[in-house]
Structure 1
Amino acid sequence: MVAHATAASGTGAAEEFEELRPLLFSISYRILGSVGEAEDAVQEARLRYETSPARPESAKACLSAVVSRISIDVLRSARVRREEYVGPWFPEPLLTDPYQDPERSAELSDSLSMAALLPLERLSPLERAVFVLREVFAFGFPEIASAVDRSEAACRRLAVRARRHMDAGRPRFEADRREREELARRFLDAFREGDVDGLRELLAADVAMVGDSGGKAPQWKPAFHGAGDVSRVLGVIVLSYARIGGVMEPRAVNGQPGAIFRDREGRVINAWALDVVDGRIQTIRSVLNPDKLGHLGPVADTWAILREANQGPSRHTFGTPEPEQENRT
């Protein structure tokens, strides 16, 4: 990464950074699994870049290296917190990936899914960064070596180890994205209509419904398994949302079909991400931890919502979002 003598600060550097910001966020988010931490890492990379005394030969290579190193350091400190986390840990839900290469949009969306990000938790911070840069963004090993401050040979070994770990947990998705989205639409329509039998028909026999509350939101238990148990839970949730006048927004969550649930005031209750495999809903991942929802808008008091939902018969119609509510995210 050869630097020229001209200063990196100024209008030119700022423009270069803004062009690369979406890519930098996408790299950092995949390494960290946190929207807030990724945004902080990108901002720190900007400060370092714009105050550098020299302009690099490649702004993309330089900034990708800087944000990767910052993200690795953040992840090292975050791993202790995640080991102490209460219940299942999921990445913070992301509604859109700001970086999209049109030729690789489907591949990039799948790499963003919670099913793809969760196996990354098994990797060391260095392995995770190397895997993301190589397998997701197709960086060359010379660029990766510069980014993680290791030799090319060491990076190749890290990539092999990471790929071996990841292959064991690589997610399967419906091959046809349109079929996946259509099945998810039918599932969410059945939920909105309170059609529990319709919901059950769309569930895989071994479906799992898993929640990440971090101990900070009401939750019966972290996971339910099997179409029978999951459909019964969904039936209770349908009634609860009807009682509180809840609103469901079908959205792409981490590049996969999903939904954001709000109370009647538009405050966020939780987010769902759906995995579709072999024409059925295979996994429902629900993020309830309020600390992970704040970037989606004002967050509801879920304990108060639970008390209201338990007060008696439904007094409201389960809703769909008004246009202005959809635009809040």
Structure 2
Amino acid sequence: MTRAEEFEELRPLLFSIAYRLLGSVSEAEDAVQETWLRWESSPTAPASTKAFLSAVVTRVSIDVLRSARVRRETYVGPWFPEPLLADPYEDPERAAELADSLSMAALLLLERLSPLERAVFVLRDVFGFGFPEIASAVERSEAACRQLAVRARRHMDAGRPRFEADRAERDVLASRFFDAFSEGDVDGLQELLAADVRMVSDSGGKAPQWGTGIAGADKVARLLVSLVAPFTQIGGTVEPHSLNGQPGAILRDRDGKVINTWTLDIFEGHIQTIRTVLNPDKLIHVGPVADAWSVLRQATQIRRPPAS
């Protein structure tokens, strides 16, 4: 097998590691590409190609993460990871860990960790790497990595999000939610929303912040209903879609361009949080991006009562 073939075989794993470390599709793809360049120029063949490439992509991602954390300190409004349509890496033996670590809530929780803690946690608890491999990847001793793992688990367990265990039941609830939204059914929406449900959006200052900071079942339900009629009248569509392993949707304008994405956190039969990503920089990989400001102006004109 050639180096290129070996790399392509491991590309899904490398991307999945990088995405969980960076929370960015574009940055993860760049980290994987940099890993290929280093692999291509390496004069020696490692004992384990998987261990070598995983270590390289981890180191590259840690460097990117350190600079990204500085940028995020000046980010306008809430920061969310870039929505991921599908995880390219599959491992039946670690399916639960992979799925749990992909959700928006889990990725946001990872933001609380230091870059080294995050790397050790992802490699150990998500992908099941041994401590000798992890120590090589982060260039620390095995003892130090074990301590980092303990601290990371403590932080994660303290704020670990809880999700609906039954995925089929979760998906049915999400389907009912989008049906009620499309029908403008306030009562139907309220029935599905947790009493303290929150609707939060990430626009990065580059798009309107629809619904940011709205909390409570009644307020969120009425906000959603106020949006749906003008949105559909201007040709907008709601496309239910799994995002980050969670029920969600892609909202598109009349031309099929992406306006934003929604992801739903579900627990105990109710929707706990609705997260919307509107920042156009974070939607490029989803498809051609709409001008959200233009969509908002069109919808506002529809909602505005006619002059007497």
- Give the TM-score category using the shorter length: over 0.9
Q: Are 2:140 and 1:145 aligned?
A: no
Secondary structure of residue in 2 paired with 1:217: coil
Checking the alignment, whether the CA contact within 8 Å between 2:230 and 2:302 is kept in structure 1 is: no
| Unaligned residue ranges in structure 1 (runs of 5+) | 1-10, 315-329
In the other structure, the counterpart of 2:150 is: 160
For 2:166, which of 176, 180, 183 is the aligned residue? 176
1:245-283 residue CA offsets vs partner (Å, 9 max, x unmatched)? 111111110001000010010100000110110001111
Q: Tell me the CA shift for residue 221 of structure 1.
A: 5.7
Identify the residue that residue 8 of structure 1 maps to in structure 2: none
1:312 equivalent in alignment to 2:272: no
Matched, 1:204 2:167: no
Q: Which amino acid aligns with 2:34?
A: E
Q: Which residue number corresponds to residue 320 of structure 1?
A: none
* SS at structure 2 position matched to 1:252: coil
Instruction: Check conservation: 2:230, 2:303, Cα contact below 8 A.
Output: no
Q: Say whether the 8 Å CA contact 2:94–2:127 is kept in structure 1.
A: no
Percent of matched pairs sharing the same residue? 74
Say whether the 8 Å CA contact 1:69–1:148 is kept in structure 2: yes
Paired with 2:239 and 2:76, the residues of 1 have a C-alpha distance of 27
How far does residue 166 in structure 1 lie from its aligned partner after superposition? 0.9
> What does residue 51 of structure 2 align with?
61
Q: Structure 2 length normalisation: TM-score? A: 0.96
Which residue does 1:34 correspond to in 2?
Answer: 24
Partners of 1:174 and 1:129 lie apart in 2 by: 27
Q: By how many angstroms is 1:313 displaced?
A: 5.6
200-209 or 215-224, larger mean C-alpha shift? 215-224
1:126 matched to 2:129: no
CA RMSD in angstroms comes to 1.3
Q: Which amino acid aligns with 2:162?
A: R
- From the superposition, tell whether residues 259 and 220 of structure 1 become closer, same or farther in structure 2 (CA, over 3 Å): closer
Q: Which residue of 2 aligns with 1:193?
A: 183
Q: Distance in 1 between matches of 2:303 and 2:226?
A: 12
* Paired position in structure 1 for 2:224: 234
Alpha-carbon distance in structure 1 between the residues aligned to 2:303 and 2:210: 20
Aligned equivalent of 1:20, options 10, 15, 22: 10
Q: Where does residue 327 of structure 1 map in the other structure?
A: none
Shift of 1:194: 2.1
For residue 302 of structure 1, the aligned residue among 289, 292, 295 is: 292
Gaps of 5+ in 2: none
2:268 corresponds to which residue?
278
Give, in whole Å, the separation in 1 of the partners of 2:206 and 2:233: 22
Structure 1's consecutive aligned runs of 4 or more residues displaced over 4 angstroms after TM superposition are none
- Partners of 2:201 and 2:210 within 8 A in 1: no
CA shift, 1:196, in A, is 2.2
**TM-score, normalised relative to structure 1:** 0.90
SS at match of 1:275: strand
1:256 and 2:220 correspond: no
The whole-number CA distance in structure 2 between the counterparts of 1:44 and 1:225 is 42
Q: Which residue of 2 aligns with 1:43?
A: 33
2:101 to 96, 107, 111: 111
Matched, 1:290 2:280: yes
Whole-angstrom distance in 1 between the partners of 2:158 and 2:227: 33
Distance 1:106 1:75 in 2: 25
Quick check: 1:243–1:308 contact (8 Å CA) kept in 2?
no
Work out the CA distance in 2 between the residues paired with 1:226 and 1:279.
16
